[in-house]
Amino acid sequence: MITKWTAERMPDVTGKTALITGGNSGIGFEAAKALAARGAEIILAVRNEAKGKEAEKRIKAANGNAKVTIMSLDLSDLISIRHFTNQFLQQYSSLNLLINNAGVMVPPHSKTKDGFELQFGCNHLGHFALTGLLLPLLMETPHSRVVTVSSIAANSGEIYFDNLDGEKGYSPMKFYRQSKLANLLFAKELQKRLEAAGSTTISAAVHPGISNTNLLSRGSGKEPNALLKLLVKLFSQSAEMGALPTLYAATEAIEGGAYIGPDGKDAKKGYPVKDMMGDVLFKPDVAEKLWSASEELTKVTYIFKKR
């Protein structure tokens, strides 16, 4: 039983390498700051390098010894993902922790550079491709972890296999739910495949409950309006609290395939615990079909062996 686990209880991670997508704001930033304070070398993979540099400054202001590197990554562009992973593999000989955190939420119907619906393309397919291309390095790093950030929105999500691009009808929230269910299905299916390969790498999914982050910028990267921010503050927890499930899954002794979220009413706020909704939502046939579709769309085939 986890009792009121906080970042202060996080084990030392000195010497470990942690790659975080979208770590320049929100729960990704809070996770990066906390991991840096415990000694991890942080790589912030960000779309906007100026915001990344700003985040680096803030992390170093909180902890002068923090090791932070900014690398450019656009998850809505498969060429950018391949370029990023090529660079990363040239520069790093190990990867202890990959945190698939970046995301967009409820934008108007729009497409990625490769023609995917933006939320499914960025939140799921981008991370699917990134993880697949980094997998041999992860598997080469003993006891490495992949932590993928889902959402309680996944609870009412569905995968629209006949309308993944939203061309036959689009609802921003329905497609956000789809992308977040895809994150959860991916994390659990990845664990199954890692286990079958006899790997020490584990995959886990997390969700932050309802947290006060800039996701509501609707994919624009701009600040949401003041009224919306006030309303969100009233029914959400801080980004710092929202980052706890990520940090717990990243550093504590958990079982592969676990789904970690807040312990409060309806899992909206609180301290990290295992959320049983992960097992309820996981449908092996849907997860396998999603995996096949994702490999086909991204042209990234997973190879479950070391480099």
* Structural element, H or E, at residue 71: strand 67-72
Is the per-residue pLDDT at 214 higher than 90?
no
- The answer to whether residue 2 sits within a structural domain is no
List active site positions. Answer: 176
pTM of the prediction? 0.93
The whole-angstrom separation of Cα 76 and Cα 78 is 7
Q: What is the pLDDT of residue 220?
A: 43
Q: What is the pLDDT of residue 227?
A: 64
What's the CATH number where 118 sits? Answer: 3.40.50.720
- Of 209 and 215, which is predicted with more confidence? 209
pLDDT tens digit string along 241-277? 999 999 999 999 999 999 999 988 888 889 999 999 9
* Structural element, H or E, at residue 20: strand 17-21
Domain that holds residue 259: 7-298
How many DSSP H helices and E strands does the chain contain? Answer: 11, 8
- The answer to whether residue 120 sits within a structural domain is yes
- The answer to whether residue 305 sits within a structural domain is no
At residue 235 the predicted structure's pLDDT band, cuts being 50, 70 and 90, is: low
Q: What is the mean pLDDT of residues 91-98?
A: 98
- The answer to whether residue 306 sits within a structural domain is no
Buried b (16+ CB within 10 A) or exposed e, 206-220: bbbbbbbbbbbbebe
CB 172 within 8 A of CB 106: yes
The whole-angstrom separation of Cα 178 and Cα 174 is 6
- The answer to whether residue 163 sits within a structural domain is yes
Is the per-residue pLDDT at 218 higher than 50?
no
Domain total for the chain?
A: 1
- Percent of the chain topping pLDDT 70: 91
**Which residue, among 160, 191, 173, 194, has the nearest Cα to 282 in the 3D structure?**
191
- The answer to whether residue 102 sits within a structural domain is yes
Q: What is the mean pLDDT of residues 56-77?
A: 96
The whole-angstrom separation of Cα 120 and Cα 266 is 25
Is the per-residue pLDDT at 222 higher than 70?
no
Please provide the average confidence, as pLDDT, over all residues in the chain.
Answer: 92
Q: What is the pLDDT of residue 259?
A: 97
The whole-angstrom separation of Cα 37 and Cα 59 is 9
Phi, psi of 277 (to 5 degrees): -60, -25
- Residue where the block lists tokens 């390969």: 197
Is the per-residue pLDDT at 26 higher than 80?
yes
Q: DSSP character for 75?
A: T
The whole-angstrom separation of Cα 8 and Cα 56 is 21
Tokens matching residue 122: 């960025």
At residue 74 the predicted structure's pLDDT band, cuts being 50, 70 and 90, is: very high
Is the per-residue pLDDT at 216 higher than 80?
no
CB 220 within 8 A of CB 107: yes
Q: What is the pLDDT of residue 305?
A: 86
At residue 184 the predicted structure's pLDDT band, cuts being 50, 70 and 90, is: very high
- The answer to whether residue 303 sits within a structural domain is no
- Percent of the chain topping pLDDT 90: 83
Determine whether 28 is exposed, middle or buried from the number of CB atoms within 10 Å of its CB (0-12, 13-18, 19+): buried
CB 237 within 8 A of CB 211: yes
Is the per-residue pLDDT at 228 higher than 90?
no
Report how far Cα 284 is from the mean position of its chain's Cα atoms: 21
- The answer to whether residue 304 sits within a structural domain is no
β-sheet with 259-262: strand ranges across:
67-72, 41-46, 17-21, 97-100, 145-149, 202-206, 259-262, 272-274
Which residues are within 8 A (CB) of 110 and not within 5 positions of it... i.e. 6 or more apart?
117, 118, 219
Tokens matching residue 253: 């002794």
pLDDT tens digit string along 278-303? 999 999 999 999 999 999 999 999 99
